[in-house]
């Protein structure tokens, strides 16, 4: 009997996510799954799309996000992600998760990246999982719980000044265990930040301990990405080896001018650890970072753009140096006045960014910050930028490799079963794009312009975004959980 599908995309150039060479063929979808790949000329469907000359890939997986709150904003939002072809996001990175957390006052930075006290509403991870079910998004959510959030929750202001006591470690560990039992996939740290920097390696290992039995993933914004970047990689590897768990370094970089070029060293070190343990990293395709504005970490030799400021919202998008000049003061004093605030800092070398991106161990993550008034352009541009600029224009790697780093490899590392690949039986997370025109358009001057060349996006078989008309309003996203069995 001839196959009957809900949807057939015909004559597409298929990049199946594994890195294998592209081929021309059809893809059939019924309900939330791919039911056929190849020559489906004998099959029919309720809806057919002729995709001659266009590329069909697994929906992109954003390996590093701060979309914890954004995924709860309901159908039709998260245009910044769907318009790039993203169908799954990893939330709870850098030690910052929106759950479990509840605070009587504004939580310390950088927790306020994901919201102020009015947004931390989850006493347990189970409550967050339930909220995702009640108000799903256009994308799937894969969640980590953050050490910074747990420290602020359990220790209060003391998280800023000292290590945790045994009793506090016990409470944090219980939260991690509860989260893992309720649908979380791992635990993250942000050891560079004040609420996390007083946690010793021993504290991290003690709190992360439930990951071992639960098969969870440890991700980290490392203690240092500048002078001590190699020592930080060693600390990360040690945590993984001692606990016998997989570790993943967030937004790998060599930060600050005096460390430019050191990615040859860091990548060699990562390869060395990779021979004996599970270790990998993500990277975003820009030579500037973005986080909360931290006056004590400013340097005169780095350009800083203000991403948001609560007391001076009109300063978003302006250079800190210009603001300081206008106020007749120095950078630090100007920054103090702007707090709480966010910043974009030009602190990497393009050569390092390319070397890290091209390395076979890397995957792509945006690190976009969805609530910033004037966000880093990575929020809107990351995935089309890798496809259009780094792969097609510069030839840094093939389109097959670019797609693999955004789909199949990411799904494998994070344990997203039946995702990130186009094959019969896999979930129908798909993106149709024009490989000749796909490109980011968001810039440091105009950071919220949607990309070009993304034609249609499906999450779990449901159309979420159409290039000509925008978001469909559908919200088929689910909480997905790690399984590496
Ligand atoms: Zn980070
Ligand atoms: Cu981050």
- Contact call for residues 385 and 342 (beta carbons, < 8 A): no
| Cα dihedral sign, 156-188-377-290 | positive
**Other Cβ atoms closer than 10 A to 337:** 17
Rounded to whole angstroms, the Cα distance separating 244 from 57 reads: 33
Phi, psi of 176 (to 5 degrees): -65, -45
Residue 438 contacts by C-beta under 8 Å, 6 or more apart in sequence?
Answer: 55, 384, 387, 388, 392, 451, 452, 453, 454
Q: Ligand 1 center to residue 94 CA distance, Å?
A: 4
Ligand nearest to the CA of 378: 2
Rounded distance from Cα 424 to ligand 2 centre (Å):
34
Using CA atoms, how far residue 38 sits from 95, 341, 400, in Å, is 43, 51, 18
Q: Residue 54 Cα, ligand 1 centroid: separation in angstroms?
A: 35
CA distance 418 to 421: 7
Instruction: Tell me the CA–centroid distance for residue 343 and ligand 1, in Å.
Output: 13
Distance CA 360, CA 388 (A): 19
- Do 151 and 196 form a contact (C-beta atoms < 8 A)? yes
What is the distance in A from the centroid of ligand 2 to the CA of 430? 25
Ligand 2 center from residue 20 Cα (angstroms):
30
4-57+431-437+449-471 shares its CATH topology with 59-291+345-418? no
The alpha carbon of 37 and the centre of ligand 1 are apart by a number of angstroms equal to 38
Distance 22 CA to ligand 1 centre (A): 34
**Gap from CA of 66 to ligand 2 centroid (Å):** 6
Query: In this predicted structure, what is the pLDDT of residue 485?
Result: 52
What phi and psi, each to the nearest 5 degrees, are found at residue 478? -130, 165
Please tell me the number of the ligand nearest to residue 114's CA.
2
| CA neighbor of 81 nearest in space, from 426, 480, 363, 406 | 406
Superfamily name and number for 292-344: D-aminoacylase. Domain 3 (3.30.1490.130)
Task: State the Cα angle at 373 between 253 and 363, rounded to 5°.
Answer: 30
Among 204, 175, 8, 211, which residue's Cα sits nearest to residue 101?
A: 175
Distance CA 458, CA 8 (A): 12
What distance in Å separates the CA atoms of residue 400 and residue 254, rounded to the nearest whole number? 27
Instruction: Please state, in angstroms and rounded to a whole number, the distance separating the CA atoms of residues 113 and 270.
Output: 29
Q: What is the Cα–Cα distance from 119 to 112, expressed in whole angstroms?
A: 9
What is the pTM for the complete model shown? Answer: 0.98
Order the strands of the 217-221 sheet from edge to edge: 60-62, 86-91, 140-146, 186-190, 217-221, 246-249, 279-283, 362-364
Taking the CA of 68 as reference, the closest ligand is 2
CA of 35 to the centre of ligand 2 (A): 36
**3-state SS class at 33:** strand
Secondary-structure breakdown of the chain: helix, strand, coil percentages, each rounded to the nearest 5: 35, 25, 45
How far is the centre of ligand 1, averaged over its atoms, from the C-alpha of 433 (Å)? 30
Spans of all domains in the chain: 4-57+431-437+449-471, 59-291+345-418, 292-344
pLDDT of 74 reads 84
pLDDT number for residue 132: 97
What count of other Cβ atoms lies within 10 Å of the Cβ of residue 356?
24
Give distance in angstroms: CA of 31 to centre of ligand 1.
Answer: 36
pLDDT of residue 2: 79
Say which CATH superfamily domain 4-57+431-437+449-471 falls into.
Urease, subunit C, domain 1 (2.30.40.10)
DSSP 145-170: EEHHHHHHHHHGGGGGTSPPPHHHHH
Cα–Cα distance, 290 to 382 (Å, whole number): 14
Provide the CATH topology of domain 59-291+345-418: TIM Barrel (3.20.20)
CB-proximal residues (5 Å) to ion ligand 2? 93-94, 367
> What is the residue-level pLDDT of the chain in tens, covering all 485 positions?
679 999 999 999 999 999 999 999 999 999 999 999 999 999 999 999 999 999 999 999 999 999 999 999 988 889 999 999 999 999 999 999 999 999 999 999 999 999 999 999 999 999 999 999 999 999 999 999 999 999 999 999 999 999 999 999 999 999 999 999 999 999 999 999 999 999 999 999 999 999 999 999 999 999 999 999 999 999 999 999 999 999 999 999 999 999 999 999 999 999 999 999 999 999 999 999 999 999 999 999 999 999 999 999 999 999 999 999 999 999 999 999 999 999 999 999 999 999 999 999 999 999 999 999 999 999 999 999 999 999 999 999 999 999 999 999 999 999 999 999 999 999 999 999 999 999 999 999 999 999 999 999 999 999 999 999 999 999 999 999 999 75
User: Which ligand has the shortest distance to the CA of 222?
Assistant: 1
- For residue 195, report the distance from its CA to the centre of ligand 2, in Å: 15
Distance 64 CA to ligand 2 centre (A): 6
Structure tokens at 153: 């929750």
Please tell me the number of the ligand nearest to residue 221's CA.
Answer: 1
């Amino acid at each position: 009997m001839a196959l009957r599908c809900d949807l057939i995309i015909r004559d597409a150039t298929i990049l199946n996510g594994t890195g294998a060479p592209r081929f021309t063929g059809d893809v059939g979808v019924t309900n939330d799954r791919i039911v056929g790949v190849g020559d489906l000329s004998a099959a029919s469907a309720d809806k057919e799309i002729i995709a001659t000359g266009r590329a069909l890939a697994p929906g992109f997986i954003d390996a590093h996000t701060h979309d914890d709150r954004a995924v709860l904003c309901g159908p039709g939002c998260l245009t910044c992600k769907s318009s790039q072809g993203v169908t799954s996001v990893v939330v709870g990175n850098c030690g910052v998760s929106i759950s479990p957390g509840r605070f009587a006052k504004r939580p310390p930075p950088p927790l306020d990246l994901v919201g102020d006290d009015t947004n931390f509403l989850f006493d347990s991870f189970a409550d967050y999982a339930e909220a995702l079910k009640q108000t799903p998004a256009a994308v799937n959510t894969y969640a980590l719980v953050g050490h910074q959030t747990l420290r602020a929750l359990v220790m209060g202001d003391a998280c800023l000044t000292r290590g945790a006591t045994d009793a506090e470690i016990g409470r944090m560990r219980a939260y991690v265990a509860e989260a893992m039992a309720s649908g979380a996939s791992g635990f993250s740290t942000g050891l560079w930040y004040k609420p996390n920097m007083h946690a010793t390696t021993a504290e991290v290992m003690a709190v992360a301990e439930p990951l071992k039995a639960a098969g969870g993933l440890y991700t980290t914004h490392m203690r240092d990405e500048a002078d001590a970047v190699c020592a930080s990689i060693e600390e990360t590897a040690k945590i993984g080896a001692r606990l016998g768990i997989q570790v993943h370094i967030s937004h790998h970089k060599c930060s600050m001018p005096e460390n430019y070029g050191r990615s040859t060293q860091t990548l060699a070190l990562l390869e060395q650890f990779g021979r004996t343990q599970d270790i990998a990293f993500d990277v975003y395709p820009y030579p500037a970072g973005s986080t909360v504005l931290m006056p004590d970490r400013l340097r005169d030799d780095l350009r800083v753009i203000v991403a948001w400021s609560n007391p001076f919202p009109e300063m978003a998008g302006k250079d800190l140096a210009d603001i300081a000049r206008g106020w007749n003061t120095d950078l630090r004093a100007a920054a103090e006045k702007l707090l709480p605030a966010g910043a974009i800092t030009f602190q990497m070398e393009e050569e390092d960014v390319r070397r890290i991106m091209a390395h076979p161990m890397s995957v792509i993550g945006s690190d976009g910050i969805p609530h910033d008034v004037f966000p880093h352009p990575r929020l809107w541009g990351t995935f089309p930028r890798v496809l259009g600029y780094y792969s097609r224009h510069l030839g840094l790697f093939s389109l097959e490799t670019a797609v693999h780093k955004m789909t199949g490899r990411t799904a494998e590392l994070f344990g997203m079963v039946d995702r990130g690949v186009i094959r019969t039986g896999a979930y129908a997370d798909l993106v149709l794009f024009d490989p000749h025109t796909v490109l980011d358009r968001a810039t440091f001057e105009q950071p919220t312009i949607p990309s070009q060349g993304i034609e249609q996006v499906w999450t779990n078989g449901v159309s979420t975004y159409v290039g000509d008309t925008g978001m469909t309003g559908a919200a088929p996203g689910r909480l997905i959980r790690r399984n590496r069995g």
